[in-house]
Structure 1
Amino acid sequence: LKLLVSRHAILRTNFYSGWYGQPLQIVYRHKNPSFFYEDVRGREHAVAEFVAQDKARGFDLSKDALMRVAVFRTGESSYRFVWSFHHIVMDGWCLSLMTDEVFGAYVALLEHKQPELAPVKPYSDYIEWLEHQDAQEATRYWSDYLAG
């Protein structure tokens, strides 16, 4: 998880509102992931209770880690993995990419190998590309595409 957070700036980010009336995004150079582990063998409802509390807790965009991971040992060789995140940092499309990266790196590290991970493109590259797009052309394209 530390590797994932170090590679992806969005996972080291918080969002503040009310800074001179504007939202402000802060990307930290270093931020530890939120990780929780508990052995819950013999407590069959412990994971469900944790999930309910985690959902109720929500996220404070200005100070919380916006991705949380919890691992529960539920048996001699069984575990439950709970991965919570705010939609502002991840969506369903990128979740599979992140999951592949986490477990791919995990398997490599278990085998005492260096994980082979694709280079990360900074979000700023996308913003720069977006700023160079013709807004009128994009509006025309989507209006035509969604007509009817």
Structure 2
Amino acid sequence: MITEKIMSISPLTPMQQAFLFHKLAGGVDEGFLQVQYVIKGELNLPLLTDSWNRVIDKHDALRISIHYKDIQKPVQVIHEQSIIEIDFRNWRNFSEEEQRSRLEFHITSDKKKGLDFSKAPLMRVALMQLSEEKYHLIWSCHHISLDAWSAGIILNEVFQLY
């Protein structure tokens, strides 16, 4: 993940403040989202990564970081560029049972890990190859930067570019 120049700094919206409050309160982070897709067919990982990064470039909300430590009021920073790398895992040699177990473990541990709000983009993408032409994609993101409706639009844009 690479973050470069800052485009703007602004206060959090009331909704963002609420999500930050709940995250900092501890417990389950209700704003954390995991969107999962099974992809069937041949997959070009560099092209998929490029598609994600082109969509991130297009939308300011996908290039934000949130800062709240040692300042009076939390702010969102929009970065000029933020690059994501897909966490690719080749699980083709594991049995279906082992793949399910690993997938369940990944989903749980990914959610526990959460997102570091101080680093843009506020998302992760993991891709597990299950067979020659079957993949499981997990997009982890947060409501502080987009809502569920927008998440669907973002995914549609990624796959249109792909």
TM-score by length of 2: 0.61
1:29 aligns with 2:83: no
- CA shift for structure 1 position 64: 5.4
Paired residues of 1:14 and 1:27 also in contact (CA < 8 A): yes
- Residue number among 102, 109, 133 corresponding to 2:158 in the alignment: 102
Give distance in 2, aligned partners of 1:65 and 1:12.
5
**Over alpha carbons, which structure has the higher Rg?**
1
Q: Does residue 75 in structure 1 map to residue 126 in structure 2? A: no
Greater displacement, 17-26 / 1-10: 17-26
| Pairwise CA RMSD | 1.5
List, as ranges, runs of 4+ consecutive aligned residues in structure 1 with deviation greater than 6 Å. Answer: none
The counterpart of 1:87, out of the listed 136, 143, 148, is 143
Give, in whole Å, the separation in 2 of the partners of 1:34 and 1:55.
18
Question: Is 1:14 paired with 2:70?
Answer: no
Secondary structure at the counterpart of residue 86 of structure 2? strand
Gap change, CA 1:76 and 1:18, over 3 Å in 2: closer
1:50-72 alpha-carbon deviations (Å, 9 max, x no partner): 11110000112112531111111
2:116 and 2:60 map into 1 onto residues whose CA distance is 18
Once the two structures are overlaid, the 10-residue window that deviates more, 58-67 or 27-36, is 58-67
Q: Which has the higher strand share?
A: 2
> Residue 89 of structure 1 aligns to a residue in which SS?
coil
The answer as to whether partners of 1:10 and 1:89 remain within 8 angstroms in 2 is yes
**Kept in 2: contact 1:34–1:67 (CA 8 A):** no
* Identity between Structure 1 and Structure 2 (%): 28
Equivalences, count: 106
What residue is the counterpart of 1:63 in the other structure? 119
Going from structure 1 to structure 2, the CA distance change for 1:92 and 1:101 (only over 3 Å counts) comes to same
Distance 1:7 1:64, change over 3 A: closer
Give yes or no for the alignment of 1:47 onto 2:98.
no
**TM-score, structure 1 normalization:** 0.66
SS in 1 for 2:131: coil
**8 Å Cα contact 1:34-1:65 kept in structure 2:** no
- Which of structures 1 and 2 has the larger relative contact order (alpha carbons within 8 angstroms, sep 6+)? 2
The structure where helix makes up a greater share of residues is: 1
